[in-house]
Structure 1
Amino acid sequence: MAPLVGLARCLVFLSLARDVVPVPSPQSIRSDLTILTHNDLYGNSSTRQAATIVLSARGSRSNAESGCKALQETLWDPADHTELDFLRYLEYENASDDIGHYWIRSRSNTGCRAITTLGKIKAIPCDTKLPALCSQSAPLGSTSSNNTGPAWQTTVRTGEATVVGYRDKLAFRFLGLKYASYPARFTYSAYQAPRGQVSALAYGPGCIQSSCTDASCSEQCLYLNIWTPHLPSNARSSKKAVMFWIHGGAFMSGFGSDTTFDGGSMASRGDVVVVTINYRLSTLGFLATSQSKSRGNYWLSDMVAALDWVQNHIQDFGGDKERVTIFGQSAGAASVRALLASPRAKGRFSRAIMQSCPGGTGYSLYPSIAEATNKTNAIYAANGCTQQNEAGRLACLQKADPAKLVTGTTTYNFPVVDGTYLTSSELLLDGSGPSLDVALMTGVMRDDGAPFSSFSKSLNASQTLTDQGYDADDILGSDLFPVPQSGNATLDIFNLTARVATDAMFRCPTQSTGFSALKSKVFPVVYSYEIDRGFQLVSWSPNPRTCEAPKTAEDPLGDPNLPYWKCHSGELYYEFGTAIREGRQPRDQEDIPFSQYLLDTWTAFGRTKHPNPDLGFLQARGFTNTSAVVKKITPWKPTSARDLKLRVLDVRPRDEGFREVKQCEVLKLPMDYYLDSSHSADVK
């Protein structure tokens, strides 16, 4: 465990022992607690900084003051702010039976005052029973600074545990919650209920991977994190939809604590509860053997255990266990696909979003344990485990250096058909499997494959395609993939291979998934999209500058209106609303409004099973930018097998038909790919 993590966990127990100011909870205050703010995603540069903590329980003005004091706050003073329209959400949500009046701070000699949801203030008898608005003085967290001190701490009681988290300006944060009893290496995890006093002030260690094998990573890494705008005081309190995020990283890397996925903005602006998780990676998460307790898919057992934790406890953090959306990108999307295919995950979620889900073996097609044997044997040999029987070799590997098991060329990182967590070689979309009562949204970035192509030293298009593993004769002979003629031959050939990679790896498998699922009626509804605007991650931008908007003298941060590739992972800052938090300044006047729109769209799907933000919700929150977009466009309709429409997500969203359909046929990935049983031969 990293020293800072250990220090944070020790500090919480000191705070729990304080006699003067105990850590408050909704139960001790006897009221639901809700953090309400506008949150336009501009961070500390926003002109709309008003925030309040809503105490929904009705009481006298004296009761309201006591409740705020327990939070180390005072009654809220609207005179400190000019923008009050965010209060309208209190009426929209029916947070109080007495819609419209909330205790606020009184000025000297003015008696007791209340404010309406329209911002009107009037004198009220002090013994009137009203809900209250408290000040919210917790600072906005950042990647470099998060104040977890006693003033901001809050406890949640769940099961037999008391969990201590903290708040920042946007949300209550509970980090590093252990969700499973840690299993022996190469065995399956299972949900474990929290018990006793639990610190949730700092992220738990990440799962061991090649980029992180020091004290900040561990084999004991099964932790989840929660961001919530709302803490209930009892079981009858209202609950929020849950967004359960699964990180990508080719099943080899990644963290639930990656600040790209900080859930504060999504929870605050989207009015949802956000959960992120760690899960075991590389050989430690995937090694498949013939031994009954070690048949692979330990990573998938981790996800099921985390979903079980959510089903048992998320209601105490304000979440609705009946409205859980699993969503992920890249290998995270492949994880969503595997959870949809897994009988062990059934009933634990009702919505799913697959973002840039790769096709092919390991991501959409699962080999058998026998087909993984050669790789398993190579791992044994690389670690000196040469015993005659597999039980002996496995026992040897269980003692091997974990850092060696996740690095180098001799690793394993693919799902397998283990017979329990995965019982078929794929998510069955041909009608032979069960229908799933799960709303599905799926799509890609416009140039998803560009980071997985490469600049070639050859100026011969045929040779370059062959070197990158494609059938050059079919591709070039089709006349459907012309080589651009810009005068820069190297860039022109990259343009070709990036297009082929996007189609082959992402677009064609994704579109076939949607078409096949609809044809076979696997899901009740499917929404298809493609994103035509990208904001590449600081931490991952392959083939430098191809995925970045070109910089000009007029636009030194980049001009998104000029041509550039909209690459894999280019939507993540937008959907989580973390661009500014991660140090990316807006390149133009559209970057943050587009982030607002994408976040609002994703969370609308989580709340309602369709991705059209409700105008009433938007107007109540004061989200004028997204409201303006929604008013100008037609509603996003589900895709149908007879009308293969996708929503193009850009500054001006629009509908188009599925893209590159003829090109997908050339690549032998036609619309009916997942309906044709012969594709199972692609499993290697």
Structure 2
Amino acid sequence: MLQQICLAMLFFVVCSSNASNPTVTVDQGQIIGKRLQFRAQDTDFDVDAYLGIPYAEAPVGPLRFKPPVPKEWQGELNAHEYGNSCPQPIIPALPFDLGKTSEDCLILNVYVPVPVRSNRAVMLWIHGGGYSMGAGSFANLETYPIASLGDVILVSINYRLGVFGFLATGDEVVPGNMGMLDQLETMKWVQKNIEAFGGDPNRVTIFGESAGSGSVSLHTLSPLSKGLFSGAIMQSGAATAPWAVLEDKTLFHKRAFGIGKLVGCEKEDTKQLLDCLVDVPTDDLLNASQRMMEVFPEDPEMLAFAPVYDDHFLPECPDTLISQRSFNPVNIMAGYNADEGTMAFVFRFPDATEKPHCDATEFEYYMAASKFHLTPLQKDALELVYFDNAMLTDPNPNYFDAFARISRDSGFACSTDTYLRGAAEADAGSVYAYYFNHHPSKSGFNTPWSGACHGDDTFFFGIHFTPNDFNLTDVEVEMTMKMIQYWTNFAKTGNPNIGTKNEEASSPAAKLLEWPQFTLDKRMYKELSPPMTNIPDPTGISCKLWNAYFPKLDAALADKQQECKSHWSKEEKESCSGEAKP
């Protein structure tokens, strides 16, 4: 019998179980998990959960800022409880129960549907959070229903965040990307151990949202990740996004020494800096890292610490790798949400019950905060594309929708478009694109005006569920089941339409509207909303502005500046600017 219901989430009821604890034997010994039960649509499901499995030694002392060292253990490992979350700032607006945080946080969780069988497809979840927040699983936001509902094994991971995971000195002392190498180590762990859980190491799909999506995208380009997974799903983030990678090694160096100064490690060279930083208390280093954008407000990058171009994990910048067609041979699914940009307003107006009014001053604030470095001509072009007639005539227009779309396109949609086109041209695997355009009946952020906001997609396929005051409508329940089927079909076969290789996409067993591949001549997207229709590129015109027109404009202005320096008179040179005309 089931014990008393302990948490209701969406249309799932998650419960405890009196079943005996499941055990898995790996090379190092026995991992003892626990059985969980939940109900979905009047059906009971069992899941064997192995929680808090350490995959690397605690990255402390001399291991801080170093690549992960595989964890050594023997005998029995009790995997009944979630491990520590990695150190990170606390954001009250987010509904996450981080539990205990510690630098000893390099753990993963494995969820296996019952009954256990062999050769199940595996999905490895890489969480988002701007490379500075989040965890693979939370005590109040479970992750595992997708495993049983989609009949896959789910692995969720922690990786080092913020300064602990992405400090870089711009040289070989601290090359950076420790968090990315942590993720890489979990993939190696899966390849070595997942068969013991009934998983197929040849069918591993890595997937993530936001910074997790950016991470997944980088793994599709990194030579170190080749052969460790067969599929990649990117939800709201690509390697080509302006926030995904820091490329200026001079800037890495400046920020490393800047944080050293804040914590009393003002040193002459990077080796001395590292020797000092490894002894700084965790909280002091974390608190100092949160001040970095205040210390260097003029820096062009949006994030203080992020993956870097390091000649190792990332041998070239993403744009170069994509232009060289340097994709690992994997199947790809990528997409974004219709209202990614409303996220900025969610955090600034968390208690607003209707769409906030964004006046001209607020608009300029958001543009500056988003690190848009635009010439006057580029600003004029933005007005032509994003401002409607009412805004141009209203003495006090609301810039809310305009900024939300600018932020969506510049930060998510257009970089995803660049990545998808590159993947399709590289022809390293099948490519699928989606556009999440459903306004939830109740927003995950409790903001009824935020539309299909950044992160809202995660509430519809079983990775993070909100507390029990969030309930789906019957139509949304059906939509969720279809999304889970698309996602897990892709993990099983590389095709979201079919769950087995001998299943036809048009067969009654599929029960899904066909999702066409994304190709260069037919850039079709699956619209993730209850009808699940297929649509042409939803942001084609605006992304042409960002991806084609702006680069041409920059090149033309650069040519003009060069002409100014070489051929114009002294008077003409003095007046030469981005708006000047000969």
TM range (shorter): 0.7 to 0.9
- Does the Cα contact within 8 Å between 2:157 and 2:186 map onto a contact in 1? yes
Deviation at residue 363 of structure 1 after TM alignment: 4.1
**Counterpart for residue 268 of structure 1:** 148
Describe the shift of the 1:148–1:185 C-alpha distance in structure 2 as closer, same or farther (beyond 3 A): farther
Does residue 524 (structure 1) correspond to residue 429 (structure 2)? The answer is yes
Corresponding residue for residue 25 of structure 1? none
Q: Unaligned 5+ residue runs, structure 2?
A: 38-45, 92-96, 294-303, 349-355, 557-582
3-state secondary structure, aligned to 2:535 = strand
Deviations 1:138-183 (A, max 9, x none): 7776379987777441111111311111112231111100011233
Q: Which of 191, 194, 208 is matched with 1:328 structurally?
A: 208
Residue by residue over 1:106-127, the C-alpha shift from the partner in whole angstroms, topping out at 9 and shown as x without a partner, is xxxxxxxxxxxxxxxxxxxxxx
Tell me the residue number matched to 1:546: 449
TM-score, normalising length from structure 2?
Answer: 0.78
From 522, 526, 537, the counterpart of 1:643: 522
Contact 1:439-1:526 at 8 Å conserved across structures: yes
- AA in 2 matched with 1:415: P
Change (3 A) 1:343 1:273: same
1:172 maps to which residue? 48
8 Å Cα contact 2:444/2:466 also seen in 1: no
User: 1:243 is paired with a residue of what secondary structure?
Assistant: strand
Q: How far off is 1:360 after superposition?
A: 5.8
How far apart are the structure 2 equivalents of 1:381 and 1:597?
52
Aligned to 1:599: 484
CA distance in structure 1 between the partners assigned to 2:273 and 2:357 by the alignment: 42
> What is residue 385 of structure 2 aligned with on the other side?
480
Q: How far, CA to CA, are the matches of 1:230 and 1:376 in structure 2?
A: 48
Aligned with residue 574 of structure 1, among 437, 443, 460: 460
User: Residue 410 of structure 2 corresponds to which residue in structure 1?
Assistant: 504
- 1:240–1:273 contact (8 Å) kept in structure 2: yes
Q: Is the 8 A contact 2:111 2:154 kept in 1?
A: yes
CA contact (8 A) 1:336 1:353 kept: yes
Query: Quick one: distance in 1 between partners of 2:335 and 2:396?
Result: 29
Partner of 2:292: 410
CA RMSD of aligned residues (A): 3.7
How far 1:370 moved relative to its partner?
Answer: 3.4
Instruction: Report matched runs for 1:367-406 at 5 Å.
Output: 367-406=247-286
Partner of 1:421: 313
Residue 388 of structure 1: how far off its partner (Å): 2.5
- Aligned letter for 1:155? T
Q: CA deviation at 1:492?
A: 3.6
**Superposed, which structure 2 residues align to 1:449-468 within 5 Å?**
449-452=341-344, 458-459=359-360, 467=368
Supply the distance in 1 between the matched residues of 2:257 and 2:26 (Cα, whole angstroms). Answer: 45
Shift of 1:540: 4.1
CA deviations 1:184-238 (Å, max 9, x no partner) are: 1111103335521101100001001112999811101000011111465xxxx62
Q: Which AA in structure 2 matches 1:662?
A: I
Q: Give aligned pairs, total.
A: 508
The 3 A distance-change label for structure 1 pair 641 and 494 is same
Give me the whole-angstrom Cα distance separating, in 2, the residues matched to 1:324 and 1:671: 38
Summarize the Cα distance change of 1:249–1:462 in structure 2 as closer, same or farther, 3 Å threshold.
Answer: closer
Whether 1:208 aligns to 2:208 is no
Structure-2 residue corresponding to 1:83: none
Question: 3-state DSSP class of the match of 1:275?
Answer: strand
**Equivalents in 2 of 1:163, 1:300: separation in Å?**
26
After superposing the two structures, state which structure 1 stretch, 472-481 or 328-337, moved more. 472-481
Which residue of structure 2 aligns with residue 229 of structure 1?
A: 113
Contact (CA 8 Å) 1:224, 1:277: kept in 2 or not? yes
| Structure 2: distance between partners of 1:512 and 1:614 | 29
How many Å apart are 1:467 and its aligned residue? 4.8
Residue by residue over 1:655-674, the C-alpha shift from the partner in whole angstroms, topping out at 9 and shown as x without a partner, is 221122222232x3249989
Relative to 1, partners in 2 of residues 1:323 and 1:218: Cα closer, same or farther, differing over 3 Å?
same
Corresponding residue number in structure 1 for 2:562: none
Deviation at 1:447, TM superposition (A): 1.0
SS at match of 2:497: coil
Q: 1:474: Cα distance to partner?
A: 3.6
Partners of 1:654 and 1:573 in 2: CA distance: 20
Q: Structure 2: how far apart are the matches of 1:140 and 1:618?
A: 38
Deviation readout 1:19-71 (Å, 9 max, x if unpaired): xxxxxxxxxxxxxxxxxxxxxxxxxxxxxxxxxxxxxxxxxxxxxxxxxxxxx
How do 1:103-122 and structure 2 match up within 5 A?
A: none
> Do 1:152 and 1:168's aligned partners in 2 also have CA atoms closer than 8 Å?
no
Amino acid at match of 2:493: T
Letter in 1 for 2:24: V
Structure 1 equivalent of residue 438 of structure 2: 533
**Alpha carbons 1:171, 1:227 under 8 Å: kept:** yes
Alpha-carbon distance in structure 2 between the residues aligned to 1:214 and 1:273: 23
Cα separation, 2, equivalents of 1:227 and 1:595? 20
Q: Kindly tell me: are residues 153 and 545 of structure 1, through their superposed partners in 2, closer, same or farther at Cα, counting changes over 3 Å?
A: same
The question of 1:447 aligning with 2:339 is answered yes
* Local SS of the residue matching 2:154: strand
In structure 1, the residue corresponding to 2:273 is in which secondary structure?
A: helix
Shift of 1:291: 5.9
Distance 1:462 1:149 in 2: 52
From 475, 486, 505, give the equivalent of 1:590: 475
Contact between 2:378 and 2:550, CA under 8 Å: does it hold in 1? no
Please say if residues 330 and 357 of structure 1, whose CA atoms lie closer than 8 Å, have aligned partners that are also in contact: yes
CA distance in 1, matches of 2:493, 2:396: 47
Report the Cα distance in structure 1 between the residues aligned to 2:90 and 2:478, rounded to whole angstroms: 34
Structural mapping, 1:7-46, within 5 Å: none
Name the CA distance, whole Å, in 2 between partners of 1:430 and 1:175: 37
> 1:249-299, CA deviations, whole angstroms, 9 ceiling, x for partnerless residues?
001100112357633211111000001001000101111125635211110
Aligned equivalents of 1:479, 1:316: Cα separation in 2: 58
Which secondary structure state, in structure 2, belongs to the residue aligned with residue 370 of structure 1?
A: helix
Mapped partners of 2:465, 2:502: distance in 1: 24
Of structures 1 and 2, the larger Rg is shown by: 1
Deviates more, 1:466-475 or 1:512-521: 466-475
Partner Cα distance (2:441, 2:76) in 1: 40
Classify the secondary structure of the residue corresponding to 1:607.
Answer: helix
Listed one character per residue, the Cα deviations across residues 533-566 of structure 1 (whole Å, up to 9, x for unaligned) are 143987646xx4322xxxxxxxxxxxxxxxxx21
Distance 1:273 1:220 in 2: 25
SS state at 1:162 partner: strand
Q: 1:137 to 1:316 in 2, by over 3 A?
A: farther
How big is the shift at 1:462? Answer: 7.7
Aligned sequence identity (%): 25
1:113-192 matched pairs, under 5 angstroms: 137=2, 142=7, 151-169=19-37, 170-183=46-59, 184-192=63-71
Letter in 1 for 2:490: F
In structure 1, what is the equivalent of residue 580 of structure 2?
A: none
User: Shift in Å at residue 461 of structure 1?
Assistant: 9.3
Is the contact made by 1:140 and 1:168 (CA closer than 8 Å) also made in structure 2? no
Q: 8 Å contact 1:288–1:376 — kept in the other structure?
A: yes
Equivalent-residue separation in structure 1 for 2:152 and 2:502 (angstroms): 13
The equivalent position to 1:247 in structure 2, one of 127, 132, 137, is 127
- Match of 1:571, SS? helix
Tell me, yes or no, if the aligned pair for 1:340 and 1:427 is still in contact at 8 Å.
no
Could you tell me the TM-score, scaled by structure 1's length? 0.67
Q: Give the C-alpha shift of residue 369 in structure 1.
A: 3.5
Quick one: distance in 2 between partners of 1:677 and 1:364?
24
Partner of 2:22, secondary structure, is strand
* Letter aligned with residue 332 of structure 2: L
C-alpha change, 1:437 and 1:152, in structure 2 (3 Å) is same
Q: Secondary structure at the match of 1:321?
A: strand
Shift of 1:436: 2.1
Map 1:342-357; keep pairs closer than 5 Å.
342-357=222-237
Question: 2: CA distance between counterparts of 1:360 and 1:244?
Answer: 22
